[in-house]
Amino acid sequence: MKKLITIISFVGMTVYMTSCNQSRPVNEGTTSYQSTTDPELAEFISKIKAVDNHSHVNTINPDDKGSDALPLDVLLPFEIPTRLRPESPDWLAAYKALYGFTGSELNEQSMKELMATMEKVMKEKGEKFPEWALDQTGIEVMLANRIAMGPGLSTPRFRWVSYVDALLFPLSTKTEAAVTPDREKLFPLEDQLLKKYLSDLNVSNKLPATLDEYLERVVAGTLEAQKNNGCIAMKFEVAYLRSLDFEKVGLQSASEVYSHYINGGEPSHEKYKLLQDFLFRYIAREAGRLGMAVHIHSFPAAGNYYVAANSDPLLLEPVFNDPELRNTKFVLIHAGGTFSEHTSAMLWKPNVYADISALTRLWTPDQLAIVLRDWLSQFPEKVLFGTDAASFGPGLGWELGAWIATATGRQALTIALSGMIRSNEVSRSRANEIATMVMRTNAGNLYNLRLK
Ligand SMILES: [Zn+2]
Distance CA 148, CA 67 (A): 8
Give the pLDDT score at 50. Answer: 98
**How close is the Cα of 110 to the center of ligand 1, in Å?**
31
CA of 397 to the centre of ligand 1 (A): 15
Taking the centre of ligand 1 as the mean of its atom positions, its distance from the CA of residue 264, in whole angstroms, is 33
- Ligand 1 centroid vs 72 CA: distance in angstroms? 11
Q: How many A from CA of 313 to the centre of ligand 1?
A: 16
Distances (CA, A) of 13 to 392, 393, 398: 8, 10, 12
Q: How far is the CA of 210 from the centre of ligand 1 (A)?
A: 33
Q: How far is the CA of 277 from the centre of ligand 1 (A)?
A: 23
Å from CA of 104 to ligand 1 middle? 32
Please give, one letter per residue, the 3-state secondary structure of 305-355: CCCHHHHCHHHHHHHHCCHHHCCCCEEEEHHHHHHHHHHHHHCCCCCEEEE
So what's the pLDDT on residue 292?
98
How far apart (Å, rounded) are the C-alpha atoms in residues 189 and 71? 9
Strands 158-163 and 3-8: unpaired
Q: How confident is the model at residue 34, as a pLDDT?
A: 55
Ligand 1 centre from 165 Cα, in Å?
Answer: 14
pLDDT at 35: 59
Ligand 1 centre distance from Cα of residue 55 (Å): 6
pLDDT score for 4: 35
Q: At what angle do helices 89-99 and 398-422 cross, to 10 degrees?
A: 100
Is there a contact between 126 and 59 (Cβ–Cβ < 8 Å)? no
> In the prediction, which pLDDT does 106 show?
86
Would you give the distance in Å from CA 169 to the centre of its chain?
21
Predicted pLDDT at 29: 45
Q: How far is the CA of 73 from the centre of ligand 1 (A)?
A: 14
- How many A from CA of 388 to the centre of ligand 1? 5
Question: How much distance in Å is there from the Cα of 54 to the middle of ligand 1?
Answer: 6
Provide the Cα torsion 251, 253, 259, 263; round to 10°: -120
Distance, in Å, from the CA atom of 264 to the CA atom of 355, rounded to the nearest integer, reads 40
CA of 108 to the centre of ligand 1 (A): 31
Q: How far does residue 250's CA lie from ligand 1's centre (Å)?
A: 32
Q: Which residues of the chain have pLDDT under 50?
A: 1-31
State the distance from the centre of ligand 1 to the C-alpha of 251, rounded, in angstroms: 32
CB 354 within 8 A of CB 339: no
Give the residue from 438, 431, 379, 365 showing the smallest Cα distance to 34. 365
Decide if 249 contacts 274 (C-beta within 8 A): yes
Cα–ligand 1 centroid distance for 436 (angstroms): 23
Distance 255 CA to ligand 1 centre (A): 32
Contacts of 135 (CB under 8 A, 6+ apart): none
The rounded Å distance from CA 153 to ligand 1 centre is 17
CA distances from 315 to 34, 95, 179, 239, 389 (A): 39, 40, 19, 11, 27
- 330 Cβ neighbours under 8 A, 6+ residues apart: 284, 293, 294, 296, 316, 319, 320, 349, 351, 352, 353
Stated length of the chain: 452
| Ligand 1 centroid from CA 364, angstroms | 18
CA 358 to ligand 1 center in whole angstroms: 7
In the reported structure, the alpha carbon of residue 232 is separated from the centroid of ligand 1 by a whole-number distance in angstroms of 16
Predicted TM-score (pTM) of the model is 0.93
Please report, in angstroms and rounded to a whole number, the separation of the first and last CA atoms in the chain.
52
> Cα separation of 396 and 443, whole Å?
27
Can you give the pLDDT at residue 33?
54
For residue 120, how many C-alpha atoms fall within 13 Å in the half-sphere facing its CB? 9
How many Å lie between the centroid of ligand 1 and the Cα of residue 69? 10
Q: Taking each helix axis as running N to C, give the angle between helix 129-137 and helix 108-125, from 0 to 180 degrees, rounded to the nearest 10.
A: 110
Among residues 122, 111, 67, 112, which one has the least CA distance to residue 86?
111
Please tell me the distance between residue 163's alpha carbon and the centre of ligand 1 in angstroms.
11
Closest-CA residue to 365 (of 401, 400, 416): 416
Task: State the DSSP string of 220-231.
Answer: IHHHHHHHHTTE
Distance between CA atoms of residues 187 and 175, nearest Å: 10
